[in-house]
Structure 1
Amino acid sequence: MTTKEVADLLRIKERTLYELCAEGVLPVTRVTGKLIFPRATLMSWLRQNTDYGRNLPSLKDHPPIVAGSHDPLLAWAVRASGSTLATYFNGSEDGLRQMKAAQALCAGIHFHASDNTNANVVLTKSELPYESIVLIEWAKRNQGLVMRPELAGKCETVADIAGRKVIMRQKGSGSQVLFDSALRQAGLSRTDVETVAEIARTESDAAQAIANGHADVGFSIEAAARQYRLAFVPLAVERFDLVIWRRDYFEEQMQRVLNFSRTEAFRRHAAELGGYDISGNGTVHYNGG
């Protein structure tokens, strides 16, 4: 863009534009004494210097991060699809916080409610009201007790884990919320089980800790139990959803992941991991904004 075009865009005089360039405020390319403004660079500068206010996270440029709850199938698909997206898995509640702060373009969530309401939709609406987001189904997963192989047949219910060394999940994770609910239904509390100091932040972390002998039992998904050759007792089937900014949904990085989830390679890997039902993959459960 020329100096006149940029001055017109910013509604300032060309002299003021030259002064801003001299001060190093604006991105500019100098060619044989002339100032050239690459359009893409200038537009990026404008976005970076826009005050979006505290309540307009959907308008910001979102970092290429998939946040929220950990899912082995999702983590694999992000890599295998060549999306170049990064992952930061720290639980469902944290995922919505990252979205609310515009610190991620997508978050995986799996919330649970005792009255069987659609908790994923309810909490997404509550945390991101009126925002331009979509909530789509990734997969349904088998959740339950993961334990050392020799405990198979000895821990068939949550009540059977009393006195066992149990590894907990981080506060705010969907798995921990479901585990706490299962404990209450069994008439137990955390004081009735021997919790280890270690906290598992992902499905795989929980299974790995048990495989390494740090705990006897934990709460995770069937795929993680199978990965580490552990015993598994299913207690619930949950729906794992993705919250995505609508604008980012159509961008190349996210589309690579979503398109990949419709391939035979994806279906084959889900079957190999075990404990997944991907028949509803891609179903839109909420369209906000």
Structure 2
Amino acid sequence: MDVWTLKEAAQFLRLSERALYDLARARRLPAALVGGKWVFPAEALRRWLVDQAEAGGRAAPPPILAGSHDPLLDWAVRQSGCGLALRAGGSLDGLDALVAGTALVAALHLRDEEGGFNEAAVRAALPGAPLVGLTWAWREQGLITPPGNPAGLSAIADLARPGLRVIGRQPRAGSHVALVGLLSDAGVALRDVAFLPEPALAEDEVAAAVLRGAADAGFGIRAEAARAALGFVPLLRERFDLVLHRRDAFEAPMQALLAFARTPLFAERAARMGGYDVTETGRVSFNL
């Protein structure tokens, strides 16, 4: 049967009808009040039961989206009214918050040695946990330069040029992890780059440092370079994921955010910002 009565659902869950009635009234499980009677979609109730078992008594995390800073994500969280609070401290900070249960979602863009994104880091941090990675967007990362790229920068190794002032990111940021990997691939040591003493704590701060002349270059996303009318040298196409426990993906905050990301307004904003590919937004990138 596709739909169960209160009695049938209670038998399936091995609960009393009164206990199930109380759960349904509190909206604690899939149920609908039709004609004054509670009915239960069978498949949805089965999935709910599996999710409860996988949660293993885990306390519900606060509605916080922690991790990497992304301007399109920041905008969408506000516009969607999803109720998530943003805590941008870098991808590794977001992963730690997911492990500790102090955030509902981790925003990550961690490139692994094989050229993949995020899954290896998540597996290592939470082995065996029922997690899902949802693609937020593919982004262009590269060198942000003053307008016209007066230094003629064209490759990651150019950041090691003598006298070039470079704005870096905090060590726990995904952009810093990517930069270290690209420099290593080019045979350049991190100590060979003249970074400014204070790192940028978000993508927009990289562009701001170049715009005001405090830095000659930085590593960041095309969208921020475009917003500040700065030069941009593309180096990397990366996948930016939202990672969370599987059952939390069906809760109201994430569903509201993903629903908004399917609207024409979202697609128009991404196109206007530049450097984003949102054709896969909301798609499962990995399922652990």
- Is the 2:157–2:188 contact (alpha carbons within 8 Å) kept by the matching residues of 1? yes
| Partners of 1:58 and 1:109 in 2: CA distance | 26
| Partners of 2:157 and 2:286 in 1: CA distance | 36
Name whichever of 96-105 and 194-203 sits farther off. Answer: 194-203
| Partners of 1:178 and 1:283 in 2: CA distance | 23
Counterpart in the other structure of 2:109 = 110
| Partners of 2:225 and 2:112 in 1: CA distance | 24
**Match for residue 142 of structure 2 among 134, 141, 144:** 144
- Is the 1:57–1:102 contact (alpha carbons within 8 Å) kept by the matching residues of 2? no
Deviation at 1:168, TM superposition (A): 0.9
What TM-score, normalized to structure 2? 0.77
Counterpart in the other structure of 1:197 = 197
Counterpart in the other structure of 1:71 = 70
Counterpart in the other structure of 1:88 = 87
Q: Would the alpha carbon gap of residues 254 and 101 (structure 1) be closer, same or farther in structure 2, given more than 3 Å must change?
A: same
Give the root-mean-square deviation of aligned CA atoms: 1.8
Counterpart in the other structure of 2:126 = 128
| Partners of 2:114 and 2:241 in 1: CA distance | 19
Gaps of at least 5 residues in structure 2 are 1-24, 27-54
Q: Would the alpha carbon gap of residues 138 and 58 (structure 1) be closer, same or farther in structure 2, given more than 3 Å must change?
A: farther
| Partners of 2:57 and 2:98 in 1: CA distance | 9
| Partners of 1:258 and 1:61 in 2: CA distance | 20
- Is the 1:140–1:277 contact (alpha carbons within 8 Å) kept by the matching residues of 2? yes
Spell out the pairing of 1:248-259 with structure 2 (5 A cutoff). Answer: 248-259=248-259
Deviation at 1:153, TM superposition (A): 6.3
The residue identity in structure 1 corresponding to 2:270 is: A
Counterpart in the other structure of 2:246 = 246
Write out per-residue CA displacement over residues 141-162 of structure 1, whole angstroms, 9 at most, x where no aligned residue: 0000011114356111122231
What TM-score, normalized to structure 1? 0.76
Counterpart in the other structure of 2:40 = none
Name whichever of 99-108 and 185-194 sits farther off. Answer: 185-194
- Is the 1:58–1:131 contact (alpha carbons within 8 Å) kept by the matching residues of 2? no
Name whichever of 226-235 and 180-189 sits farther off. Answer: 180-189
| Partners of 1:180 and 1:134 in 2: CA distance | 27
The residue identity in structure 1 corresponding to 2:140 is: N
The residue identity in structure 2 corresponding to 1:91 is: G
| Partners of 2:197 and 2:171 in 1: CA distance | 14
Counterpart in the other structure of 1:287 = 287
Write out per-residue CA displacement over residues 233-282 of structure 1, whole angstroms, 9 at most, x where no aligned residue: 00010000110222321121221111000000000000011001111111
Q: Secondary structure at the match of 1:200?
A: coil
**Greater radius of gyration (CA):** 1
| Partners of 1:106 and 1:247 in 2: CA distance | 12
| Partners of 1:153 and 1:233 in 2: CA distance | 12
Write out per-residue CA displacement over residues 147-205 of structure 1, whole angstroms, 9 at most, x where no aligned residue: 11143561111222312100111112211111112222333223322211121121111
| Partners of 1:237 and 1:152 in 2: CA distance | 24
Runs of 4+, deviation exceeding 3 Å: none
Name whichever of 192-201 and 93-102 sits farther off. Answer: 192-201
- Is the 2:112–2:121 contact (alpha carbons within 8 Å) kept by the matching residues of 1? no
Counterpart in the other structure of 2:218 = 218
Name whichever of 130-139 and 256-265 sits farther off. Answer: 130-139
The residue identity in structure 2 corresponding to 1:75 is: D
Q: Secondary structure at the match of 2:166?
A: strand
| Partners of 2:98 and 2:190 in 1: CA distance | 31
Counterpart in the other structure of 2:175 = 175
What percentage of aligned pairs have identical amino acids? 43
Deviation at 1:287, TM superposition (A): 2.2
The residue identity in structure 1 corresponding to 2:94 is: G
Counterpart in the other structure of 2:3 = none
Counterpart in the other structure of 1:159 = 157
